[in-house]
Chains A and B, each alone.
Chain A
């Protein structure tokens, strides 16, 4: 069964460093998402991406965040200058058709900012 994959599974970084989280969505899916979940808290929407551009973003997704689909398979989330409060699980999700389908989540990347 097709699945969303994410790398790395765990990323440790120093505060102020840049990180790139990588996702490979399901191959025929057209809509891509990033969510984060701080330990013990709810899953929070960050951004959605369709047709090579951001379609929606939340208040959390400020100027330190960016997303890119650099080729036909990868979908990346970049955090330019990490803060301690960026420590969380980051989930990628993909979707074929928002009217007839639901989002399939990847296994997540645990980001730890020291």
Chain B
């Protein structure tokens, strides 16, 4: 069974704080991991992809992957109110089929 699990939230952080979003997945052989942001009523928008263990940084965003623990996270530094959205974790298990988690709702409080 291919599963991608996320806490649905809501997660609230004050402006300027670090937001930490977590995701676990069921299949150890997965190789490709993605974080998408989705505003209400809009399509998913890619934030980052990560393929290797460790950290990957892009501006205020850092993705962390631990394949042994089947865990991928997203840190958002200096959170802004415009970061308020639902964050979707997506995993490719085999082929090129994306499996999405249910998403974590983030609210950044000014």
Contact = CB atoms under 8 A, between A and B. Distances in A.
Residue of B43, B90, B92 with most partner-chain A CB within 10 A: B43
Given A55-B95, A91-B43, A106-B43, A41 B102 contact: yes
Given A102-B34, A102-B49, A107 B43 contact: yes
Interface in B2-60: 34, 42-46, 49
Interface in A69-114: 89, 91, 95, 98, 102-108
Contact of B96 (A42, A56, A104): A56
A56 B46 contact: no
Interface string A35-50: 1000001111100100
Contacts of A55: 95-96
Nearest to A41: B102
Interface of A: 31, 33, 35, 41-45, 48, 55-56, 58, 89, 91, 95, 98, 102-108
27 contacts: A31-B96, A33-B98, A42-B100, A42-B101, A42-B102, A42-B103, A43-B44, A43-B88, A44-B100, A45-B98, A48-B95, A48-B96, A55-B96, A58-B97, A91-B43, A95-B96, A98-B92, A98-B96, A102-B34, A102-B49, A103-B46, A103-B98, A104-B46, A105-B44, A105-B45, A107-B42, A107-B43
